[in-house]
């Protein structure tokens, strides 16, 4: 598979498949994801999105801004200063992941189940709640993305 793609929805859940490679985040891959997410945002339905990857890695890239704003300080410090890799159960315990499943089939089924429940509450109010909850992460990501894009173009 050559990069991220949208998969036809099954019910209220749309799937965005990152692929089966290392899925390193670059300026080009972030732009591709932005394009796909813009497509998702324009859809009247479904109301939930599951992002999945196949193979050994979900993503082998690391966004330090996200780590600083989302993770507990101790977890972010350990991950950034040691390069430590987390297995599924360790990622769950450290607050990096919201859930883990032992099989590939279980991952997609569980993610779709969780997203279906969230889709029932989708709407403008939920968008406002998310924007406020993650305002610092969104701001940091936008600043880093624009800085990286400008630096790479020069």
Lowest-pLDDT range of 8-22, 74-88, 116-130, 133-147 = 133-147
pLDDT band at 27 (very low <50, low <70, confident <90, very high): low
Alpha helical stretches, state H, 18-121: 27-42, 64-70, 73-82, 88-94, 104-119
* Dihedral angle of Cα 89, 92, 96, 101, to the nearest 10 degrees: 70
**58-79: pLDDT as tens digits:** 777 756 666 677 788 888 888 8
Give backbone dihedrals phi and psi of 126, rounded to 5 degrees, phi first: -65, -35
pLDDT at residue 148 is higher than 70: no
pLDDT for residue 141: 67
Strand-strand pairing, 48-52 and 13-17: parallel
Tens-place pLDDT, residues 81-132: 887 888 888 888 988 888 888 887 888 888 888 888 878 777 777 778 878 8
- List the domain range (segments joined by +) for residue 99: 5-153
1: confidence class by pLDDT, cuts 50, 70, 90: very low
Is 95 within 8 Å of 71 (Cβ atoms)?
Answer: yes
**Domain of 74: which CATH number?**
3.90.226.10
Q: Residue length, the chain?
A: 154
Question: How many domains would you assign to the chain?
Answer: 1
CA distances from 66 to 2, 5, 33, 134, 143 (A): 25, 23, 16, 10, 12
**Taking the model in full, what pTM does it have?**
0.50
- Answer yes or no: are the C-beta atoms of 94 and 71 closer than 8 Å: yes
């Amino acid at each position: 598979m050559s990069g991220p793609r949208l998969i036809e929805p099954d019910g209220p859940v749309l799937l965005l498949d990152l692929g089966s490679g290392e899925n390193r985040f670059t300026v080009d891959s972030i732009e591709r994801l932005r394009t796909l997410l813009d497509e998702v945002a324009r859809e009247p339905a479904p109301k939930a999105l599951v992002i999945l990857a196949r193979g050994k890695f979900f993503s082998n890239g690391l966004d330090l801004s996200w780590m600083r704003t989302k993770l507990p300080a101790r977890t972010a410090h350990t991950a950034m200063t040691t390069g430590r890799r987390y297995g599924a159960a360790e990622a769950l315990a450290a607050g990096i992941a919201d859930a883990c499943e032992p099989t590939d089939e279980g991952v997609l089924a569980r993610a779709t189940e969780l997203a279906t429940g969230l889709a029932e509450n989708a709407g403008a109010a939920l968008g406002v709640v998310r924007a406020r909850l993650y305002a610092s992460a969104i701001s940091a990501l936008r600043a880093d993305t624009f800085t990286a894009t400008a630096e790479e173009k020069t």
